[in-house]
Amino acid sequence: MDTPVPIDSRLPDVGTTIFTVMSRLAQACGAINLSQGFPDFSPDPALAAAVSEAIAAGHNQYPPMAGLPALREAIAHKLEGEYGARYEPESEITVTAGATQALFTAIAALVQPGDEVIVFEPAYDAYGPAVRLQGAQLRGIPLRAPDWRPDWDAFKAALSPRTRLVIVNTPHNPTGSIWPREDMLQLAALLDGSRVCVLSDEVYEHMVFDGAEHQSVARHPALACRAIGVSSFGKTYHVTGWKVGYVFGPAALMAEFRKVHQFNVFTVNSPAQAAFATVAGRPETWRGLAAFYQTKRDRLRAQLATSRLRLLPCAGTYFQLVDYRAISDLPDVAFAEWLTREAGVAAIPVSVFSREPRDERIVRLCFAKQDATLDAAAARLAAL
């Protein structure tokens, strides 16, 4: 209906996220959806059963604001076992309604009007609006194909007395790159003695391939002391629709996070938390994830190896970038639409992850799919 109320939008240039747009288009066209990053297969039946058991056991009311104590204990055990860092469950870990809520809450808690926030672009599209809604300014550092490594000279030039936060994402969405240890040490050295905090988006932490090691901020004391890390049970356990994640960080930063969290969502789905508490402290439930997704990566890459798509390196996440210049001169948004309508495969154009125009002809494919889905999509893409 029409409204007589004038709208002074706080995000006047922001429309519907590209993930929703492409998934909607895929559904309308009957296309295979390799755009939005979600699995098309079921989670472990034991996890689903644990939710039902939690409901039957009475986990149906508000859990503690910071999360069920048993789940926070399990997360602390995991962080110490994986990264050698001890986080106190009571004061340094908070369960969140997915990773995007965690990111928004961290930015709202740490950033004030007039501050500057540095991101490495292409960047996940939730970062920028959250920064702008706090009245802060985004400073982008371009990452370039094929390795997408940070330009540390550009980073040093972007640092200023107004810099309050640096957002790091490794493994990286959308490029599938990972930060090696040297980059984490470089970041720590450049921030030494500053007032700058780090927000580390690590939702793909267990999807690192070819024997590489995920460089969590928790591994690096010089970063851990100024960082909030973010992870996602949805990504790790193939249940993105459950929207449960968590954050970890020093008590002083976590206290500020919780001030916002309690008025943002207050707390998180109780039976899901109880279910995750049964698996989150058991390494066998995530240590096979890298091999699982590497097999899917390799399957897709093998089937596209003789196609006209140029495969870019993929060191982590469940995303594969492809350069389509041998097929089309269309800009990537137009090509993604054409690909969905005419070839029957939905992808994400990479330019939407950057604020500045980019000249790459690259789209992102998600391989978190059943083998039959990947095979059908690869056959259509190889025929282009």
Range of the domain at 244: 45-283
Its pTM stands at 0.96
Query: Do you find a cis peptide bond into 357, omega within 30 degrees of 0?
Result: no
pLDDT of amino acid 241: 95
Q: Which amino acid is at 201?
A: D
Residue 85 lies in a domain: yes
Domain check: are 258 and 202 in the same one?
yes
pLDDT of amino acid 356: 82
Enter the tokens of residue 140.
Answer: 């982008």
Parallel, antiparallel, or unpaired for β 348-349 and 362-366?
antiparallel
Query: What CATH number should be reported for the domain holding residue 293?
Result: 3.90.1150.10
Query: Do you find a cis peptide bond into 250, omega within 30 degrees of 0?
Result: no
Q: How far apart are CA 166 and CA 159, in angstroms?
A: 10
Last residue in a domain, options 266, 283, 300 = 283
Question: Which residues are CB-neighbours of 211 under 8 A, at least 6 positions away?
Answer: none
Total residue length of the chain:
384
Residue 22: Cβ-neighbour burial (10 angstroms; 0-12, 13-18, 19+):
buried
Enter the tokens of residue 247.
Answer: 């954050």
Enter the tokens of residue 163.
Answer: 């810099």
Domain check: are 274 and 135 in the same one?
yes
Phi/psi region, residue 193 (left: phi>0; alpha: psi -120 to 50; beta: rest), is left
Domain check: are 54 and 188 in the same one?
yes
The secondary structure element, H or E, covering residue 117 is strand 116-121
Domain check: are 31 and 51 in the same one?
no
Domain check: are 311 and 328 in the same one?
yes
Question: Which residues are CB-neighbours of 186 under 8 A, at least 6 positions away?
Answer: 150, 152
Helix, strand, coil in percent for the chain, rounding step 5: 45, 15, 40
Q: Give, for all 384 residues of the chain, the pLDDT tens digit.
A: 989 998 898 988 888 888 888 899 889 999 999 998 889 999 999 999 999 999 999 999 999 999 999 999 999 999 999 999 999 999 999 999 999 999 999 999 999 999 999 999 999 999 999 999 999 999 999 998 889 999 999 999 999 999 999 999 999 999 999 999 999 999 999 999 999 999 999 999 999 999 999 999 999 999 999 999 999 999 999 999 999 999 999 999 999 999 999 999 999 999 999 999 999 989 999 999 999 999 999 999 999 999 999 999 999 999 999 999 999 999 999 999 999 999 999 999 999 999 887 778 999 999 999 999 999 999 999 999
Residue 52 lies in a domain: yes
Residue 1 lies in a domain: no
Last residue in a domain, options 260, 283, 306 = 283
Domain check: are 39 and 79 in the same one?
no
Enter the tokens of residue 126.
Answer: 């939730």
Last residue in a domain, options 253, 283, 313 = 283
- Do 95 and 66 contact (CB within 8 A), yes or no? yes
The C-alpha angle 252, 72, 83, rounded to 5 degrees, equals: 75
- Do 359 and 324 contact (CB within 8 A), yes or no? no
Residue 313 lies in a domain: yes
DSSP-derived secondary structure letter, 312: P
Task: Please state the domain count of the chain.
Answer: 2
Query: What CATH number should be reported for the domain holding residue 102?
Result: 3.40.640.10
Q: Which amino acid is at 129?
A: P
Residue 67 lies in a domain: yes
Residue 11 lies in a domain: no
